[in-house]
Amino acid sequence: MDTSTVDRRHLDFMLYDVLGVDALCAYPRYAAHSRETFDAAISLAQQLAAEKFLPHNRKADLEEPRLVDGKVALIPEIAEAVRAFGEAGFTAALADEARGGMQLPFVVTAACDALFCAANGGTIAYPTLARAAANLLEVYATDEQKARYMQPILEGRYFGTMCLSEPHAGSSLADITTRAEPHDDGSYRLTGAKMWISAGDHELGENIVHLVLARIAGAPAGVRGISLFIVPRWRVAADGTRGARNDVRLAGLNHKLGQRASVNTFLKFGEAGDCEAWLVGAPHHGLAYMFHMMNEERIGVGISAIQQACASWRYALAYARERRQGRHPDQKDPSTPAVPLVEHADVRRMLLAQKCYVEGGQMLAFHAALLVDRQRDADAQTRDEAAALLELLTPIVKAWCSEYALRANDLAIQVLGGYGYTRDYPVEQCWRDNRINPIHEGTNGIQALDLLGRKALLHDGAALRLLLGEIATTCTAAASDAELAPFAQELAVKARLVGDTTLAVAQRMGRGEVRRALANASDYLLLVGHVAVAWCWLRMALVARRLAPAATGSERDFLDGKVQACRFWFATELPKVELAAKLVATADGSAFEMKDAWF
């Protein structure tokens, strides 16, 4: 039974045949790269994921992090995997060559990460959080801060965290109360508590660089009064030597439903009044800096979610090809042999739905990842458009992918039946592990508000118009292919529906009915998400149709499968947007008007 968690042909198809990421090598920053170097990095990631991450995925779930003598005890395989990741250069995948980095494009790095995520979504959090912290410091920290805190992360010696939430303020960052007092030496002293901190304490490296949101005394209320601080777990001298423990205390571990490889902590800062912290950038701009990190993290959440769905889908597919059970409904003779599960129409439906969620979501997420790189284009308009589209797509990638990835996980369990409900098979863990993704890095409800209340309407809907323009381009191309023309027509209709629905919301907001206009934001996210994924499927089908005439054997099957999946999406999923659009456009009030006392 083939139980690999990834289909490399499909990954290559997305990256090269559809997205053409090798074109990035024309950018000066990536001039030293080629498709060969990209492939080498991806192949190395694939090998390390299979050899160092996948084997302990279940063990890490069974033996979750514990506190032993005040320290976080992890199974040793985690340290080994994280070390291999760092030594292979993946922690510094994005960093400049001058700093010892691979200087890879974001989208290629994302492809590498995706392979680790499919193998083990928990362990991978340690080095990728560290890398995200390094990325932030690269942009906003001083040279001195970079040397002291960022360079050791790139070298795999230090780790990093993002400390945003507090016990009383998860989604509502405006309400954080951690405070910072200026200190004589130019540093600050922090006091407060932070909740849900992934990788918040462990012994994997020499140090942990916490990036912490806090308020400087006298700061404005709300999110405009939040500053960003570096809080090292161990203080670091100017020459890089490690000093005394800083006043950061591990106050507890959170015991989670899944993702148990990644320790989740409750941290207290400054209980002894001596938590040294260093301001990053200007005071009161911390949230904007953090969102630099958060936005790329949200693309990462979408990819991670889809990859955990990919893993369970591929397992379910292999299982359905092997396991024989029952007969077709028109086969009444019980002496005929049982057929493989995959031959049952309902099982095939469940497998195809998973394929559509997984590969459609991957396509969308990698498209967004490529937009991160396009912001380095020589052409200013290309850069601006990429930035605007990325802003728009980020909440969709985060929320849509995490929601539908979970549905795919659910279907994988169903394909396995009773076996899927046991801990002897991997699919239940995928489902549990993945349940965090609609919640963290901004709940999906908040992503929907971000999309409808802000990004879709920004600059008179400029970013949305760009997206609809790209969709129209695809529709035009598909219209000349007789087999795809009906889909092109359908997608064009649905794209207009997106525009009309958005306009209706904008008008209602213009009349001051803000709350009501945004009440069905989740339906709006489904609308735009499903249309965007339809666009992704049509793009894949277009490329598949272009390549098919020259293809034979399994390659031809691979390409035909893309067209069939596109057909399934347009027949069974895309029509769902009509109801969603209606609820949004009419501002259906059936939930909005529900009173608390009526429950």
Residues in 567-596 at the binding interface with a second copy, rule: CB under 8 A: 567-568, 570-572, 575-576, 579, 582-583, 588, 590-596
Among 203, 500, 555, 557, binds a second copy (CB under 8 A): 557
Residue 322 or 379: the one with the smaller Cβ distance to a second copy is 322
Separation between Cα atoms, residue 62 and residue 391, nearest integer Å:
38
421: contact with a second copy by CB under 8 A: yes
Pick the closest to residue 305 from 396, 172, 235 (CA basis).
396
φ/ψ of 209, rounded to 5, equals: -100, 100
Tell me whether residue 513 is one of the annotated catalytic residues: no
Pick the closest to residue 51 from 12, 89, 4 (CA basis).
4
- The DSSP 8-state label assigned to residue 24 in this structure reads G
246: contact with a second copy by CB under 8 A: no
31: contact with a second copy by CB under 8 A: no
Among 180, 279, 436, 484, binds a second copy (CB under 8 A): 436
SS3 504: helix
311: contact with a second copy by CB under 8 A: no
Separation between Cα atoms, residue 249 and residue 480, nearest integer Å:
64
Pick the closest to residue 6 from 79, 122, 113, 126 (CA basis).
113
196: contact with a second copy by CB under 8 A: yes
Q: Tell me, by CB under 8 A, how many residues bind a second copy.
A: 103
User: Which candidate in 441, 483, 513, 555 is catalytic?
Assistant: 441
485: contact with a second copy by CB under 8 A: no
Min dist CB 372 to a second copy, Å, is 27
Across-strand partners of 267?
Answer: 194, 250
Separation between Cα atoms, residue 65 and residue 76, nearest integer Å:
11
CA-atom Rg of the chain in angstroms:
24
Asked if 291 and 387 count as a contact pair (C-beta separation under 8 A), the reply is no
SS3 326: coil
Among 132, 279, 449, 505, binds a second copy (CB under 8 A): 449
Residues numbered 508 to 537 that lie near a second copy (CB under 8 A) are 514-515, 518-522
Among 87, 274, 322, 346, binds a second copy (CB under 8 A): 346
Q: Segment contacting a second copy (CB under 8 A): 122-130, 297-305, 374-382, 439-447?
A: 439-447
504: contact with a second copy by CB under 8 A: no
Separation between Cα atoms, residue 135 and residue 572, nearest integer Å:
41
Among 36, 69, 185, 424, binds a second copy (CB under 8 A): 424
Q: Segment contacting a second copy (CB under 8 A): 107-115, 232-240, 344-352, 533-541?
A: 344-352
Q: Segment contacting a second copy (CB under 8 A): 19-27, 232-240, 323-331, 367-375?
A: 323-331
Min dist CB 331 to a second copy, Å, is 9
Among 255, 272, 380, 552, binds a second copy (CB under 8 A): 255
SS3 362: helix
Q: Which residues contact 298 (CB under 8 A, 6 or more apart)?
A: 394, 395, 397, 398, 441, 442, 447
**First-last CA distance in the chain:** 50
171: contact with a second copy by CB under 8 A: yes
Q: What's CA 278's distance to the chain center, in Å?
A: 29
445: contact with a second copy by CB under 8 A: yes
291: contact with a second copy by CB under 8 A: no
Q: Which residues are catalytic?
A: 441
